[in-house]
Chains A and B, each alone.
Chain A
């Protein structure tokens, strides 16, 4: 079955770039998502990419996909204290028409002033 793994913790200084990494296991075409969760809140969709793409950029966010290694990363430029949150990588399960999302355990990003 699908499995999504993330590093648990990342600490950066305000103004630096943050890079959050994720690996997934499904070898077929799929959609890959990044969600942000602030304390006590729901999940906010940040961006997504289809597995036939290499890169997607949206303002301060850049998603890079290495299909060979099944490695996905989210880069946040000019990280702000308001970016402190848990970031989840998720993979759409192609066996269900991508309806079911498989989530990683989340990376806790801490941005210090």
Chain B
């Protein structure tokens, strides 16, 4: 059973370009979470999705950031018009969703560098 897959692993963009980060959850997992890790900091929650539905986006910046998890295909985190402050590691996690503890399994992350 493959783990959570993220691609690309490294992404370089110039200011003003768009960044698209992809996440394929573990087989059988219906819920996806995105977290951002700034250098030397812990992970901060961004958004929580299930197929075709955003459950909680309280951690997403109001502008330029969007996320989706379509019926088919991976979850996408999209950052429009990137700025240097967007440089960070973006981690995706997935879970099978069960009542009570719903252990999240993390992917290897995408490291975004904005020049």
Contact = CB atoms under 8 A, between A and B. Distances in A.
B43 A103 contact: yes
Contacts of A33: 103
Contacts of A98: 100-102
Given A100-B56, A101-B45, A104-B42, A42 B103 contact: no
A96 B58 CA distance: 11
Given A42-B107, A42-B108, A43-B91, A103 B44 contact: yes
Chain A interface mostly helix, strand, loop or mixed? Answer: strand
B42 A88 contact: yes
Contacts of B35: 101, 103
Nearest to B9: A40
B101 A88 contact: no
Contacts of A90: 43
Contacts of A50: 101
Most buried by B among A42, A44, A102, A104: A42
Contacts of A92: 101-102
Given A43-B91, A104-B42, A105-B42, A99 B109 contact: no
Given A43-B91, A48-B103, A92-B101, A100 B42 contact: no
* Interface range, B side: 20 to 34
B72 interface: no
Nearest to A44: B106
B54 interface: no
B45 A100 contact: yes
Interface of B: 4, 6, 31, 33, 35, 40-45, 48, 55-56, 58-59, 91, 93, 95, 100-109
Given A96-B48, A97-B102, 20 more contacts: A31-B100, A31-B101, A42-B106, A42-B107, A43-B43, A43-B106, A45-B103, A45-B106, A90-B43, A92-B102, A98-B102, A99-B31, A99-B56, A99-B95, A99-B102, A100-B33, A100-B59, A101-B104, A103-B42, A103-B43
